[in-house]
Structure 1
Amino acid sequence: FFSLLFHFYLLSLLNVDLRSYHWLQTMIFTVEEINRDPVLLPNFTLGYLAADTCLSEGSTLSTALSLVTGQEEAISGEHCARAPSVPVIIGDARSSASIVVADTLGIFGIPMVNAKIMARLLRFMGWSWVGVVCGDDAYGESSMQLLQQELEGSDVCMDYLGVISKSYTLSSIRQIVEKIQSSKAQVVAILAIGPDTEVLLREVVKQNVTNRQWIATPAWSTSSYIALWSGLSLGGTIGLAQPSIEIKGLSSYLTQLNPGEHPKEQLVQNVWEELFGCRFGEEILSGPPRPRCTGLEKMQIQAQETMSDGKYNVYKAVYAIANAIQDMLDCQPGKGPFKDGKCPDIKPINPEQFTTPVGELVYFDQNGEQPTSCDIINWHIGSDGKLKFVKNTFPSSPLLLNISVQVPVSVCSESCPSGTRKAVQKGRPVCCYDCIPCAAGEINNATDSTECTECPERFWSNTDRTECIPMIVEFLSFQDHMGIILSVLSVAGATLTGTVFIAFFHHRDTPLVRANNSELSFLLLLSLKLCFLCALAFIGRPAPWSCMLRHSLFGISFVVCLACVLCKTAVVLFAFRATLPGSNIMRYFGPAQQRAGIFVCTLVQVLICVLWLVLAPPLPTESAGVELGARVVLLCAVGSVIGFSLVLGYIGLLAAICFLLAFFARKLPDNFNEAKFITFSMLIFCAVWVAFVPAYVSSPGKYTVAVEVFAILASSYSLLLCIFAPKCYIILLRPERNTKKSMMVK
């Protein structure tokens, strides 16, 4: 018969590890099952060698090299006289040792399935801020590198990295535990082998760290030994484990093993002594006393208490080798898969696919890697207060887990709600950010968004910055409080002006009215009434006709008003000049000349307004911007700034001339000197319009129009009250002073 040997590494603690022993027995069970199979490798017998790695990468590599070169010293078996070279190595159970062997022998690459599944698990659970502790060996380093590669570009960040040194001290372990406790990360992934993990978790239990979510690798995810002494500290732990599939006949095979059937195998006796706390042979003086082993102890109970993780992988590995040998034996020369139809050599065994006796299709990709699923183990605290392993399958489809504990939140920054955007904190990972409210006019109706969207035209963001709402159309209307107040002031001014006009007309033959140039007074009152009423044209929804009317009416009515005041002032000033001997100056200030002067002054303003309306008329416009908020303000654009400036400038020029003439005539020897009142009215008029310019430019929205209306009303009231109030006082309240004698110079 043809004999093929392969190697299995047994993971061992200082004493016997039952899980590793079961893996060894699973390999033996599988070899015997294949040797009994009449279809797979008929007339061929598989053999095996097993070696203990003693948790040392050095001894693992040394043993592997001796096996592949045929230099192994001790062997057992009926059909083998010496140790042949072993073409296939299965193991070690520890990834750190497997990596060393793989790098040296170049048999297979580093599997990445655990890192990929762990990265998917973190993303699925929404854990974006995690802490990682790894061992200071090839397993820890490679696992860490692979996990970082899988998380690169994702929304999962690492807060800290703790390294468990092989020559650790108690203080270094405590520093790692303190880092775990002080971190905001609620999730801790431990990428270390069982012994290194045990050192860390014992300190965790000692310091009673119970508020962390632990992520376990297959190295310790199903360790009943750790679960036994960890208590409640590790409750809720989620671990990755190799899928466990029930292998027919394996359970009974394991429970039937006893020292009686293998009297010459020291390993079986060591396992028995470790399981039942007894001893074969004489009692050792050191340590606590133990009873003698009878070999009749109940193995069934112990087998049930051990979770069957990893056994199926061993089972598949042996069948992979057997099927590879079968494929090579069935190869016909000239039809092989290699160049020129050559068949593969017996040494490099590389199966492509096969089906195990339990019905699973096993296949390898072009890189020699086997796509695999993974079990998710949840350390659930049962009703009895003990930890129990609850298994969930991790398929290739979207992850669906039934976690038996409340899922903790582990993030560096809380989720940014709608209406805000994420801004990464300077010098920190992308998982740490601030939630910045969207600017005015921008919205964001999604969570954890990095950008805000600008609202379309005529829309604005609501208070929460979550949706765009239509802007409020705003203008100075008759329904606004401000519009009502200005309308009342306008109508009141016009009414008061009309009342004064009636009083003057009723007393037109009295000395006071006649002495103050009644014709100019009546014209001035009419123009003032028009000034008050033109303010109403500025209130209401802007329309093309209203925009053109308001500015033209305002400009012309004020010029007529100022032209009348100018003529009255000139008449008063030059009337006293005419009293000098030989003076004939009053012939230039008769009624005809006064009317001509008013007409000419008004004509200039009319020409300016006509040119303005023809070339660039004021038209309705919309004003919207950040400073206006959620409003669309309807305004009348001036059209031509030059035209608007000329209208105001011409009014200002006439007002300045009136003020100067009245100022020169303020001390004339008249018992009732009208020049004093004109001076005061022009002073107020000029002050109002000087203050108007900066107020008009700086006022937002409809307040721009309100400022202009207020300036019109204030200047109109100043002229009406300053010029006509003293006269009305005498006409209505002191008629005894309304005589020719009182009007004469003393």
Structure 2
Amino acid sequence: MLDIVRYFGWSYVSVVNTDENYGQSGIQAFRELAKDVEVCIAREDSVLSNAANEVFDKVILNLKQDPNAVVVVCFCEGLTIRGLLKATKRLNLTNYFLFIGSDGWADRHDVTEDIEEQAWGSLSIRIHSPYVKSFDEYYWSLKPDSNTRNPWFEEFWQTKFRCVFPKSFLEGNESKMNVCTGKESLRENYKQDPKLSFVIKAIYTLAHALHDMLDQVCGMPFSTCEKISPFNGSLLKNYLMNISFTFDNEAFQFDENGDPPGRYDIMNFQKLSDGTFGYVEVGRWNNRSLFWSESTQFPEIRSKNYIRSVCAEECSPGHYKNVQQGGKDKRCCWVCVPCPPGEILAGNGESCQLCPKGYAPNSDKTVCELLQIQFVRWQDRSAILSMSFSISGLLSTVFTLVVFVKFHDTPVVKSSTKELCYLILIGMMVAHSSIFAMLAKPTRFYCTMTRLLPGIAFSMIYSALLTKTNRIARILAGNKKRFPNRRLYLMSATAQILMALFLIGIEVLIAGIILYVEPPKVIFLYFPDKTQLECEISLEAIVTPLLFDFVLILLCTVYAVKTRNVPENFNEAKFIGFAMYTTCVIWIAFVPIYFGSGAKSITMCICVTLSALVTWAFLFLPKLYIILLKPEKNNRAFFTTAKIRCHIGAKVTAAITEKYSTNSWRDSSSMTTSTEPEKSIKEVSKRTLSCQTGSDLLVGLLRSKRAVLSDLVSCTDSMAVKIIEKDCYCHDVNCQLKHITILLPDKHF
């Protein structure tokens, strides 16, 4: 019965038994076996076979309390199951339950008489007893006059045919009794008993056991054997337990518990084609194996074609059974809960288990599958875009370097301190080349290059730019501070290169220390849907080297702001300023994008490339334009004629007299006077420190230098220094500010 329940997937059933020894022992065995399999008992009840209708009604109503238990297993006698079926009819619960009956029901028609509709679809168990055809001929051939070896045969004959043999007449009753002739036929109203085969097997079993015992104890032939006198029942039992023979093509023997092989026919109470009801054998249970030969027929139970008797349906893929929130029987009742992300079903679907790192659940969340290791590949779209910018920048930088080397003696190249320009261009090439290390498959070598190259490249670029802007700022500061006669130091190209190399050395030292403290290595970053292969770079390892570069950028920006109003021949400082402003924007935007993005390598590549390209565009593109497209501007005059715009006050508290310095205009030194030194010292504190001096003072200053200019300028007055006055806007009515432009002769300076 339990195998039938499991075959149909019914895991939640109710049980009823006849409240007698047969039903109690049977249902107890069912209950114990059900504990070992996934079958749970929803409701239990017992009832006497002769109980009143009200008792049967109460049992049915009790079973109804659990609507999920559609199947009712009944280990009952025939009268008990009949009482239950009649109760469903009275309560109008026809086809509400599906009954499975034991061999006490079997195929008895008296159980289902007049309640066929209520029994429709039920399954019952009948002990398998094959029809013994050979017995029919033997039975039919028996006659009272020939079967004398059976002393009870005449009595059987008289009972069957309701007659009496003459010798058995009682005095005075002769006329009242039918006389047996001995010619009556046993074929009349003959029906072989279904359990006949059991009787025959029992006789054969005892005969085989006696035969084996006498053969081994007494030997052959045997008649009266004193060795078994008195008779030893325990010895006979041992032989009974070990007999085996074949009857009607079926093997027979006892198991270790002394039970014969269990063979049952499974009967299904069906509605036949002619509209009547009857039992149909649909399967067989043979020695713990279930076989189905015919399809079962079930009515619509509770208006459903497919019968389900479960406490909870199976969970869909990716959901586990939470039995803690289920019904009273934790094995069969549960609620389905989805597994959290990254977990698979475990424990027979009753819990979830987290996948190991580098693994992810499959679509059904039944197994963990190895995730593909991902890293930035050169064929990725983002990598192609980054490399496109890098290659473009690299080609542009190489082209610029070739042009500068070819035209190294031209004023454009010479006026921009070509040695520093070469250093900047090399830094740009290193920056663009570092992109390929950052986009390569992470290894220890490439991780080292990724941490070294960007910082060193930036230090090469911005150290040179800082040196440039610092030089320009010092020159202009000298012009503003009373035209001092002190000499400016570290102005040569060699000094500029050494200063830049010193700053680069600081960056290299910082990067080396960081690499020593935190050696580069490759790590795996585990995500729910991927495993990322990356270089391990801590916050300190990436910030510390770039922080020094950012300081260089800020200093360059400060100097660019200070030198924004410069003579036209110093307009390189303006372009440096534009480059620094843009670079600051790029770097400030880089920080949140880098730390907030998952594609850190691509973000770093774009920042490095854009920084180098911006610097190239503002610093070198104008020079390339003059060298290649406007060669007429690539002459000495364009870079030595200075147009200085100053706002000069007409009223000044003191005059300036300073010793003339030999620094030339071309070296960006200040033009000075040399008269009345005592007065200069006395009134120096009253002078303004900018170009806002009186126009009359400037005229006097230039006249006082006429002798000096005559030595430098051997030409007519038309070639001498000229002051052009232009009116300026001033809100004060007494203001005499003038816009002064000083023109210096070209070929002499």
Shift of 1:488: 0.9
Q: CA RMSD in A?
A: 5.5
Q: 1:196 to 1:334 in 2, by over 3 A?
A: closer
Q: Are the counterparts in 2 of residues 378 and 403 from structure 1 also a CA contact under 8 Å?
A: no
Per-residue deviation, residues 612-647 of structure 1 (Å, max 9, x unmatched): 66786545x362534352x5x443445x87655543
1:198 aligns with 2:82: yes
Q: Which residue of 1 aligns with 2:534?
A: 635
1:389 aligns with 2:291: no
Shift of 1:301: 9.7
1:649 aligns with 2:547: yes
Q: Which residue of 2 aligns with 1:91?
A: none
Q: Are the counterparts in 1 of residues 131 and 194 from structure 2 also a CA contact under 8 Å?
A: no
Paired with 1:677 and 1:463, the residues of 2 have a C-alpha distance of 58
Counterpart among 8, 15, 32 of residue 149 in structure 1 = 32
Q: Which residue of 1 aligns with 2:2?
A: 119
Paired with 1:578 and 1:189, the residues of 2 have a C-alpha distance of 111
* SS of residue in 2 equivalent to 1:600: helix
* SS of residue in 1 equivalent to 2:99: strand
Q: Which residue of 1 aligns with 2:264?
A: 374
Q: Are the counterparts in 2 of residues 528 and 561 from structure 1 also a CA contact under 8 Å?
A: yes
Per-residue deviation, residues 102-159 of structure 1 (Å, max 9, x unmatched): xxxxxxxxxxxxxxxx223333444323333445566555443322211113122234
Paired with 2:193 and 2:585, the residues of 1 have a C-alpha distance of 98
1:430 aligns with 2:331: yes
Q: Which protein is bigger by CA-based radius of gyration?
A: 2
Q: Which residue of 1 aligns with 2:292?
A: 401
Q: Are the counterparts in 2 of residues 255 and 300 from structure 1 also a CA contact under 8 Å?
A: no
Shift of 1:587: 1.7
1:175 aligns with 2:70: no
1:537 aligns with 2:422: no
* SS of residue in 1 equivalent to 2:289: coil
Gaps in structure 2 of 5+ consecutive residues: 141-152, 165-184, 214-223, 299-305, 647-749
Equivalent residue runs for 1:585-664 within 5 Å: 586-609=488-511, 618=520, 621=522, 623=524, 625-629=526-530, 631=531, 633-638=532-537, 644-663=542-561
* SS of residue in 2 equivalent to 1:202: helix
Q: 1:308 to 1:713 in 2, by over 3 A?
A: farther
1:239 aligns with 2:138: no
Paired with 2:73 and 2:323, the residues of 1 have a C-alpha distance of 25
Shift of 1:602: 1.3
Paired with 2:370 and 2:71, the residues of 1 have a C-alpha distance of 46
Shift of 1:425: 5.9
* SS of residue in 1 equivalent to 2:278: strand
Q: Are the counterparts in 1 of residues 102 and 126 from structure 2 also a CA contact under 8 Å?
A: yes
Paired with 2:157 and 2:465, the residues of 1 have a C-alpha distance of 125
Q: Are the counterparts in 2 of residues 354 and 361 from structure 1 also a CA contact under 8 Å?
A: no
Shift of 1:561: 0.5
Paired with 1:593 and 1:527, the residues of 2 have a C-alpha distance of 19
Moved more, 490-499 or 450-459: 450-459
Paired with 1:325 and 1:742, the residues of 2 have a C-alpha distance of 140
Paired with 2:470 and 2:413, the residues of 1 have a C-alpha distance of 17
Equivalent residue runs for 1:478-493 within 5 Å: 478-493=378-393
Shift of 1:260: 4.5
Moved more, 168-177 or 221-230: 168-177
Amino acid at match of 2:32: Q
Q: 1:583 to 1:627 in 2, by over 3 A?
A: farther
Amino acid at match of 2:102: T
Per-residue deviation, residues 401-460 of structure 1 (Å, max 9, x unmatched): 32432686644455568877665463333234567777877778x996668899899776
Q: Are the counterparts in 1 of residues 79 and 111 from structure 2 also a CA contact under 8 Å?
A: no
Q: Are the counterparts in 2 of residues 443 and 468 from structure 1 also a CA contact under 8 Å?
A: yes
Counterpart among 565, 573, 579 of residue 473 in structure 2 = 573
Paired with 1:476 and 1:356, the residues of 2 have a C-alpha distance of 77
Q: Which residue of 1 aligns with 2:112?
A: 227
* SS of residue in 1 equivalent to 2:72: strand
Shift of 1:712: 1.0
Counterpart among 720, 730, 739 of residue 616 in structure 2 = 720
Q: Are the counterparts in 1 of residues 12 and 42 from structure 2 also a CA contact under 8 Å?
A: yes
Amino acid at match of 2:124: G
* SS of residue in 1 equivalent to 2:279: strand
Paired with 2:434 and 2:243, the residues of 1 have a C-alpha distance of 99
Q: Which residue of 1 aligns with 2:682?
A: none
Q: Are the counterparts in 2 of residues 256 and 299 from structure 1 also a CA contact under 8 Å?
A: no
Counterpart among 605, 628, 645 of residue 709 in structure 1 = 605
Equivalent residue runs for 1:493-508 within 5 Å: 493-498=393-398
Paired with 1:722 and 1:364, the residues of 2 have a C-alpha distance of 104
Paired with 2:246 and 2:463, the residues of 1 have a C-alpha distance of 117
Shift of 1:508: 7.4
Q: 1:213 to 1:244 in 2, by over 3 A?
A: same
Shift of 1:562: 1.1
Equivalent residue runs for 1:453-492 within 5 Å: 462-463=362-363, 471-492=371-392
Amino acid at match of 1:172: K
Amino acid at match of 1:716: A
Paired with 1:470 and 1:368, the residues of 2 have a C-alpha distance of 55
Q: Which residue of 2 aligns with 1:99?
A: none
Paired with 2:405 and 2:251, the residues of 1 have a C-alpha distance of 117
Amino acid at match of 2:433: L
Shift of 1:598: 0.5
Q: Which residue of 2 aligns with 1:218?
A: 103
1:189 aligns with 2:90: no
Moved more, 365-374 or 219-228: 365-374
Q: What is the TM-score normalised by the length of structure 2? A: 0.61
* SS of residue in 2 equivalent to 1:196: helix
* SS of residue in 1 equivalent to 2:293: coil
Q: Which residue of 2 aligns with 1:557?
A: 457
Q: Which residue of 2 aligns with 1:271?
A: none
Amino acid at match of 2:58: S
Per-residue deviation, residues 371-415 of structure 1 (Å, max 9, x unmatched): 654333232433223333334543215222324326866444555
Shift of 1:551: 3.4
Q: 1:335 to 1:258 in 2, by over 3 A?
A: closer
Q: 1:203 to 1:513 in 2, by over 3 A?
A: farther
Identical amino acids, percent of aligned pairs: 24
Paired with 2:486 and 2:12, the residues of 1 have a C-alpha distance of 102
Equivalent residue runs for 1:92-107 within 5 Å: none
Q: 1:586 to 1:382 in 2, by over 3 A?
A: same
Amino acid at match of 2:524: S
Q: 1:723 to 1:230 in 2, by over 3 A?
A: farther
Q: Are the counterparts in 2 of residues 197 and 220 from structure 1 also a CA contact under 8 Å?
A: yes
Q: 1:229 to 1:673 in 2, by over 3 A?
A: farther
Amino acid at match of 2:526: G
Amino acid at match of 1:395: N
Q: Are the counterparts in 2 of residues 243 and 312 from structure 1 also a CA contact under 8 Å?
A: no
Q: 1:510 to 1:226 in 2, by over 3 A?
A: same
Q: Which residue of 1 aligns with 2:691?
A: none
Per-residue deviation, residues 324-345 of structure 1 (Å, max 9, x unmatched): 9999x99989866599x9x99x
* SS of residue in 1 equivalent to 2:332: coil
Q: Which residue of 1 aligns with 2:219?
A: none
Q: 1:122 to 1:628 in 2, by over 3 A?
A: closer
Shift of 1:366: 9.1
